[in-house]
Amino acid sequence: MRMVGVFKNLPILAKQINTGNTRKDGNMRMKLAATAAIALSAMPMAASADGEVNIYSYRQAYLLEPLLNAFEQETGIQSNVVFAKQGLAERLEREGRNSPADLVMTVDISRLNELVERDLVQNVDNETLEENIPENLRHPEGKWFALTARGRLIFVSKDRVEEGEITTYEQLADDKWNNRICTRSGKHPYNIALFSSMIAHHGEAETEKWLEGLKDNLARKPQGGDRDQIKAIAEGVCDVSIGNSYYYGNMLQDENQRPIAEQVRLVFPNAEGRGTHVNISGISLTKSAPNRENAIKLMEFLSSPKAQRIYAEANTEYPANPEVKPSGLVAEWGEINPDNLSLQEIADNRNAAVKLVDRVDYDGE
Ligand SMILES: [Fe+2]
């Protein structure tokens, strides 16, 4: 894998650089930081080159590196990656037909849907992908394919919350949790997707009431990321939080964070009913795709059992390919019963959810 750039916010004039081959080691983040600092002294990504494929990625380097290296080993095709935290859709739009990007890798259905709505991606009609990725985890015309899934779970204090005391998202609005819940911003895509699913199940009016109830139960103003809410439980700030499954997994695998994560118990909300809200990470083929054939080969590879195993292990996520079992740690948590509401429906309710968050002033601004 060749990293050709990493930008926090993609500067318009920034070009990409070649950092050379990076090895899988703990210095990756440092190398990334160094790359960002010198991102202006650049070497452009070639639009079309034999044996190469170009990726714009919102996913982090340490997740992609083992996958792309395995792909290169198997096929001889080299991947060039531009990493960014935001702005990739804008960049694709700006570059139009001349964009060197073949693929976009991202998290969250809202981002995948944005690519479709801006008409930046093309249909992929491919038997291997259709076999590997279940229908509910891909766009009906192949405009995106999920590669991993994550549950949005409830975490509770082992000490202060009894087993079975909370089992659904709906209960987060119950008075008994007054002053006992912590979450990140209501505007974050992960929460927006959860709230969108609530709208799909209960309608807007009922979801508004629920969201008001949840807001009233917050122990503090929404802040930080999902991991910070687990920390807040460990510190006694609150007793209940909402978070994505892999954050908990990653904390358990980190020597320093493990004692914090061990203070909480995970709950698969609505497991007995409609199932737990899940979101995805996924991949799309761009409209421009100068290396279309190589790109589709990479998509096929990423959906294969071999790559799915690597991917799911790297971030304690659920493989999208049902043939591949979750990692040992994830399996220990018990089976997830995913809400099979279509991801498209979640994407369709996004704007309504954003409005609700504003209307109830969830973040207390
Ligand atoms: Fe995340």
Q: Print pLDDT tens along the chain (365 aa).
A: 777 765 444 433 233 333 333 333 333 333 333 343 333 324 467 887 789 999 999 998 889 999 999 999 999 999 999 999 889 999 999 999 999 999 999 999 999 999 999 999 999 999 999 999 999 899 999 999 999 999 999 999 999 999 999 999 999 999 999 999 999 999 999 999 999 999 999 999 999 999 999 999 999 999 999 999 999 999 999 999 999 999 999 999 999 999 999 999 999 999 999 999 999 999 999 999 999 999 999 999 999 999 999 988 888 999 999 999 999 999 999 999 999 898 989 999 999 999 999 999 999 98
Displacement of CA 356 from its chain's centroid (Å): 22
User: In the prediction, which pLDDT does 5 show?
Assistant: 65
How many whole angstroms from 55 Cα to the centroid of ligand 1?
Answer: 19
Ligand 1 geometric centre to CA of 155 (Å): 16
Candidates 151, 157, 150, 229; CA nearest to 186 is 229
Q: For residues 217 and 238, what is the distance between their CA atoms, to the nearest angstrom?
A: 10
Name the DSSP class of 193.
H
Token pair in block for residue 357: 């968050």
On whether the CB atoms of residues 138 and 145 are closer than 8 A, the answer is yes
Residue position matching structure tokens 């714009």: 56
Class of domain 2-149+279-332: alpha beta
Burial of 33 (0-12, 13-18, 19+ CB in 10 A): exposed
Model pLDDT, residue 44? 63
Q: Are 194 and 343 in contact (CB under 8 A)?
A: no
Model pTM? 0.85
Please give the distance, rounded to the nearest whole angstrom, from the Cα atom of residue 191 to the centre of ligand 1.
11
Taking the centre of ligand 1 as the mean of its atom positions, its distance from the CA of residue 76, in whole angstroms, is 31
**Separation of CA 244 and ligand 1 centre (Å):** 7
Distance (Å, rounded) from C-alpha 150 to C-alpha 132?
18
Please list, in sequence order, all residues whose beta carbon lies within 8 angstroms of the beta carbon of residue 41, skipping any fewer than 6 positions away.
Answer: 17
The β-bridge relationship of strands 103-107 and 52-57 is parallel
Q: Report the CATH fold assignment for 150-277+338-359.
A: D-Maltodextrin-Binding Protein; domain 2 (3.40.190)
Cα(43) to ligand 1 centroid in Å equals 30
What is the distance in A from the centroid of ligand 1 to the CA of 314? 13
Q: Where are the chain's structural domains?
A: 2-149+279-332, 150-277+338-359
Distance 197 CA to ligand 1 centre (A): 18
Distance (angstroms) between ligand 1 centre and the Cα of 298 equals: 23
Residue 116 CA, ligand 1 centroid: distance in Å: 21
Q: What is the predicted pLDDT for the residue at 45?
A: 78
Q: Which two tokens stand for residue 268?
A: 């698969």
> 46 alpha carbon to ligand 1 midpoint, in Å?
30
* Amino acid 46: pLDDT: 80
Backbone angles phi, psi at 232, to 5 degrees: -65, -35
If you measure from the C-alpha of residue 190 to the centroid of ligand 1, how many angstroms do you get, rounded to a whole number? 8
The pLDDT score that the predictor gives to residue 327 is: 92
User: Which residue(s) pair with 138 in the sheet?
Assistant: 145
User: How many angstroms is it from 50 CA to the middle of ligand 1?
Assistant: 34
Compute, in angstroms, the gap from residue 225 CA to the centroid of ligand 1: 8
Task: Return the pLDDT at 25.
Answer: 34
